[in-house]
Amino acid sequence: MSIPKTIFVISGPSGSGKTTLLKGILSDRLLRRKLARSVSYTTRPKRSGEKNGRDYYFITAQEFQEKLRSKKLLEWTEYLGYYYGTPTTFFSDKYSAKSGLLLCLDIKGARRVRELYPKNSVSIFVMPLSLKLLPERIQKRCSRTGAKEIEQRLALAEEEVRASRHYEYRIVNKDLGKAIAALRTIIKKELSAQAVRNKRGVRT
Ligand code: 5GP
């Protein structure tokens, strides 16, 4: 299996805005050329506005088990009763030409990628401005999310924020424009450091 040169793992509680941040990053033409974004498999139902193959590959639990059995997942997690997994296809030759790969993972997936690629991965945690504002943001994002699921996502958010100390970078999403700029700076800095290592012939 070949790997992209730098793997950026981005985590953050539900409603912290990490998906919007990633969209902001990929609106930069230069970065879009250098980076690929992985699309995960999930068994959770599609939300309105989501597109199969763009946001996730929406599959059944049975199909997910089959992916696991046939080793088609680099890592996977169970999140509030649904399965999510990163396809190994993003670790194929096709993507090894890219300077970086963006993965949006929960804290368990982030830990796994750090273990698998300690030298090639960079972990970034997106902090919500305040846990108090999350219910409203979660509700807005998934209009059909029930009160119970919002409660579960909030309980998880506290655990996730506690785990943020294991990440190399933390971004507080107070102002979207500034948060995108901060993320862009981190990515560019890490890609330049990698370019220097490559030049020197240091194996990563
Ligand atoms: P959501 O249901 O809000 O789209 O995602 C729930 C959580 O699962 C988020 O923290 C998201 O980053 C994470 N997630 C999405 N895809 C994957 C994946 O392939 N692997 C892991 N470990 N987490 C994922």
Question: pLDDT for 145-170, tens place per residue?
Answer: 677 888 888 888 889 999 999 999 99
Q: What does the alpha-carbon distance between residue 204 and residue 184 come to, in Å, rounded to a whole number?
A: 22
With a CB cutoff of 8 Å and minimum separation 6, the contacts of 167 are 11, 110, 123, 124, 125
Q: What does the alpha-carbon distance between residue 80 and residue 143 come to, in Å, rounded to a whole number?
A: 17
Read off the pTM: 0.91
| Domain parsing of the chain, residue ranges | 6-38+99-199
Question: pLDDT for 57-97, tens place per residue?
Answer: 999 999 999 999 999 999 999 999 999 999 999 888 777 78
Pocket probe mutation, ligand 1, options 64, 74, 105, 159, max atoms within 8 Å of Cβ? 105
Nearest atom in ligand 1 to 11's CA: 12
Query: What top-level class would CATH report for the domain 6-38+99-199?
Result: alpha beta
